[in-house]
Chains A and B, each alone.
Chain A
Amino acid sequence: MFVILPVLLIAVVVGGLCIGVTWINPLELFNIPDDDLSHALIGLRISRITTAFTVGGALAVAGAAYQTVLRNPLAEPYILGISGGASLGAAIAIISGLSACTMLAVPGMAFVFAILAMALVLLMGRGRFSEYSENVLLSGVIVGAVCSSILMFIISTLNHYELNSVTWWMLGNLQAADNSLLNIAIAVTVIGTLLLTLNGRQANLISLGEEMAYNMGTVPFRVVMILLCTASLMTAASVSLAGIISFVGLLVPHATRRIFGADHRRLFILNLICGGIFLTACDIISRVLLEAQEVPVGVITALIGGPFFIWILNRKGRRNA
């Protein structure tokens, strides 16, 4: 599988550059006509591939971290109420008129509210004798539900145009609104993945439970906080860049763990690559599924992810030792 990854990576990059409403012959990629239109098209597609790879990678890495810390195979990047917080922030930016002032208002507010939701969950999770990760999980569900309720209330007051904006944001969009935002998301994703990888050995221990991790010589609370905060920042960055794209953070970590084993010293980097490949491939499909119309990429991730997930779960085979 280690050999197949670079092949898949090259395939989705070439596919992402060539496939779309306007087809570009792969053989012409190194000989692009010297006109503004061609350059703009290639520039847009490069930006889109980069966004898809960053968002997919960030969500997959964050999902792997959440599943490890919360010791719950159903944990995903939005479990700590981050999507609820981000959606609320985006909706507030739209109804307050901030989105009309600057393109960065919606992603900026989404990021701020995602971080606020995360901070609230981490504070609420502090309990005396139960494991921190268990408390955090429950707090996340509560904060998510409260944010969703407020969002529903706001949505009920929106006019047609505002409702359309919020809905489209929530469906996910991989065309980056701003390059500086994309650069920030790339930086957060790369630094976050490296930080998690450096804590890979500790992450292995945490997946056996906080008590076991403590007994083997770590400080569980510190490790849990590093993993949760890093994963939450990565999620917030990706949500603010591309809206809410479901399934990637649940499916990719499962598949990666099943194929490559559970050792977190290499699992986070593998998730970055696999998540990036998966979302870029989904994005290519979303461009060509309907003629002259794009399908929201979140729909594709769910349509491909569901059956693939079932196949992975039923796949028999040994994992790497």
Chain B
Amino acid sequence: MPEIMNAQNLKFGYSRENTVLEDFSFKVKNSEFVGLIGPNGSGKTTILKLLSGYLSPKAGDIFLGKQKINLLSSRQRARILGVVPQVISTTMPFTVKQVVEMGRTARISPFLPLRGHDHEAVCSAMNEMDVFEIKNSLFSQLSGGERQRTIIAAALAQEPEMLLLDEPTSSLDLGHKLQLMGLLKGLQARGMTVMAVSHDIELMAKYCDRLVLLKNGKVLASGAPPEIITPELIKEAYGCEVNVIVGINGEPLISAEIKAAEIKY
């Protein structure tokens, strides 16, 4: 299957002395559901910002399809790539609907109002993320979970080919967490490529085709969830000993039997 994203030999640091990534390469195939996991400070969010083009690498290239991401116009890029950042806040009194409508920016003329299909895409995204009922509420007054669902709805309204999500379930309750993961799985079935960064390893293992385990800005292991969620790799990445059991659907589950004294960060 062709690759929608290909990052080659990326090097990045936030200052001249500091290096977060060194010779980092990474590929994502069309219609794949990839989970990026790893301990705090392993470079997950930085990688996501590099792959979205928001940060520029010191060396290396990122291809979106066959084109370098930095050669695409902002509108072309946003039609291919939808990104959901970890936290969004604003002091402006925008309603939920207005925020979701902003997702159509790359699809419409800057000076014309939304048209028929734009309204359909906005309504569909709000329905899918369960925010239609609160469409007239102020975004700034929503709970963390509602805000997160609104931003995901805005990214869905973009109708991208690939979705990058940074901790998309961090503020969601169990019901909305499972609803979101089910939705992402459904989008994948309809041809969308999905890549999510998360600390929820079990959830990622249940829904992703492939997990990429990171440590200190390097890929420690990449493969199907049962190959990655092993006591040995978890210990190497997170510095703690765990037991891994198999769930009813064959997904790996991490046993909570962890001795505090054994945690070595």
> A residues bordering B, Cβ < 8 Å?
67-68, 71-73, 129, 198-199, 201-202, 204-205, 207-209, 211-212, 214-219, 257-258, 261-263, 318-319, 321
Interface residue B83 (Cβ < 8 Å from any Cβ of A): yes
Q: Which residues of chain B from 127 to 176 have a CB within 8 Å of any chain A CB?
A: 135-136, 138, 151, 154-155, 158
* Residue contact B110 to A201, C-beta cutoff 8 Å: yes
- Residues A211 and B105 in contact in the complex (CB < 8 Å), given A219-B74, A257-B93, A262-B93: no
- Besides A215-B78, A217-B78, A262-B93, 15 more A-B contacts (Cβ < 8 Å) are A72-B91, A129-B55, A201-B111, A202-B110, A207-B90, A208-B94, A208-B99, A211-B85, A212-B151, A214-B53, A215-B54, A216-B78, A217-B105, A319-B95, A321-B98
Residues in A with CB closer than 8 Å to B49 are 211
- Min Cβ gap A165→B in Å is 39
Q: Check B52 against A217 for contact (C-beta < 8 Å).
A: no
| Chain A residue at minimum C-beta to C-beta distance from B13 | A129
> Which positions in B face A, CB cutoff 8 Å?
14, 49, 52-55, 74-75, 77-79, 81-83, 85, 88-95, 97-99, 102-103, 105-106, 110-111, 135-136, 138, 151, 154-155, 158
Q: Which of A72, A211, A214, A215 has the most CB of B within 10 A?
A: A215
Q: Which residue of B lies closest to A212 (CB)?
A: B88
Provide a sorted-by-A list of 27 A–B residue pairs whose CB atoms are within 8 angstroms. Answer: A129-B14, A198-B111, A199-B110, A202-B105, A202-B110, A204-B102, A207-B91, A208-B88, A208-B102, A209-B89, A209-B90, A211-B54, A214-B52, A214-B74, A215-B52, A215-B54, A215-B81, A215-B83, A215-B155, A216-B78, A216-B102, A217-B75, A217-B105, A219-B74, A262-B94, A262-B98, A321-B97
Q: Please indicate which of the listed interface residues A201, A202, A207, A217 has the most CB atoms of chain B within 10 Å of its own CB.
A: A217
* A211→B52 CA distance, assembly (Å): 10
In angstroms, Cα B83 to Cα A68, docked, is 22
Within the complex, the shortest CB–CB distance from B180 to chain A, in Å, comes to 18
For B90, the chain A residues whose CB sits under 8 A away are 71, 207-209
| Contacting residues, chain A, for B74 (C-beta < 8 A) | 214, 217-219
B85:A212 contact, CB within 8 angstroms? yes
Contacting pair A217 B79 (CB below 8 A)? yes
Q: Which chain A positions have C-beta within 8 A of B81? A: 215
Residues of chain B contacted by A321 (CB below 8 angstroms): 95, 97-98, 135-136
> Separation in Å of the A133 CB from the closest CB of chain B?
13
Contact of A71 among B54, B91, B106 (CB under 8 A): B91
Please tell me which one of the listed residues A67, A207, A216, A258 contacts residue B106 in the complex, with CB atoms under 8 A apart: A216
Distance (whole angstroms) from the CB of B115 to the closest CB of chain A? 14
Which chain B residues border A202 with CB–CB below 8 Å? Answer: 105, 110
- Closest Cβ neighbor of B106 among chain A residues: A217
| Bound-complex Cα distance A218 to B108 (A) | 12
Return the chain A residue nearest B55 by Cβ: A129
Whole-angstrom distance from the CB of B162 to the nearest CB of chain A?
Answer: 12
Q: How far is the CB of B227 from chain A (nearest CB, A)?
A: 32
* A129 CA / B58 CA spacing, docked (Å): 13
Contacts of B55 in A (CB 8 A): 129
CB-nearest residue of chain B to A263: B98
> A219 contacts which chain B residues (CB < 8 A)?
74
Residues of A within 8 Å of B99, CB to CB, are: 208
A71 / chain B contacts, CB cutoff of 8 Å: 90-91
- Whole-angstrom CA separation of A202 from B90 in the bound complex: 15
Q: Are B14 and A68 touching (Cβ within 8 A)?
A: no
Query: Given A71-B91, A321-B97, A216–B158 Cβ distance below 8 Å?
Result: yes
Pairs of residues from A and B, 6 with the lowest C-beta to C-beta distance, nearest first: A217-B78, A217-B106, A215-B83, A262-B92, A207-B92, A262-B93
Contact assessment for A257 and B92 in the assembled complex, using a CB-CB cutoff below 8 Å? yes
Distance between Cα atoms of A208 and B97 in the complex (Å): 14
A209 lies within 8 A of B158 (CB): no
Residues of chain B within 8 A of A199, CB atoms compared? 110
- In this complex, the member of B52, B74, B83, B135 whose beta carbon has the largest number of chain A beta carbons within 10 angstroms is B74
* Contact A205/B102 with A217-B77, A257-B92, A262-B93 known, Cβ cut-off 8 Å: yes
Could you tell me the distance between the alpha carbons of A321 and B88 in the complex, rounded to whole angstroms?
A: 20
Pick the residue among A68, A217, A218, A261 that contacts B93 (CB under 8 A): A261
The smallest C-beta distance from A296 to any residue of chain B, in angstroms, reads: 31
Q: How far is the CA of A320 from the CA of B154 in the complex (A)?
A: 20
Contact at A204–B52, with CB atoms within 8 Å?
no
Alpha-carbon gap, A73 to B154, bound state (A): 24
**Is the Cβ of B105 less than 8 Å from the Cβ of A201?**
yes
A217 to B52, CA, bound (A): 11
Which single residue of chain A is at the shortest CB-CB distance from B110? A201
How far does the alpha carbon of A72 sit from the alpha carbon of B92 in the complex, in Å?
A: 10
